[in-house]
Amino acid sequence: MTRASYGTPKEGDRWLDDEERKARWMKDSFPEFHDDDALWGYVIRAERQYKIWQHNDIKDVPFLRLMSMGVYDWEDPDKELPQATRAIRYSAALASRMFPRILQVEEKVGLSPDLSC
């Protein structure tokens, strides 16, 4: 499962630059994993994205809080919320895939990046 962690070298990554590695990491669907294992991999990836969003200009505080409910806290594993069940983890992983696309579309149509509600 270390493959789900960003920065973990994968076979064939040796000649890729950082952007190409990141794109390959984002596209990895874990096809050989069972569904629960693949979901765990997606949540590991979602947690990394969540940390990045916290430090960027994402001002949608409710969205960030909802994401924090679904991702596993690797820095404080004992802090796991009781509602962090499979359904919420699935939702967090799905949202982590959708959110960058939403931002991209909003940028294309010229919507303000201020997402505060």
pLDDT of residue 7: 60
pLDDT in tens, 61-113: 777 777 777 776 667 766 655 555 777 777 888 888 888 888 888 888 887 65
CA dihedral 27, 30, 77, 18 (to 10 degrees): -30
Q: How far is residue 32's CA from residue 38's CA, in Å, rounded to a whole number?
A: 8
* CA distance from start to end of the chain: 37
Closest C-alpha among 84, 61, 62 to residue 73: 84
Mean pLDDT (the chain) is 75
What is the percent of the chain with per-residue pLDDT over 90, rounded to a whole number? 1
What pTM did the predictor assign?
0.61
Q: For residues 5-28, b (16+ Cβ closer than 10 Å) or e, as one string?
A: eeeeeeeeeeeeeeeebeeebeee
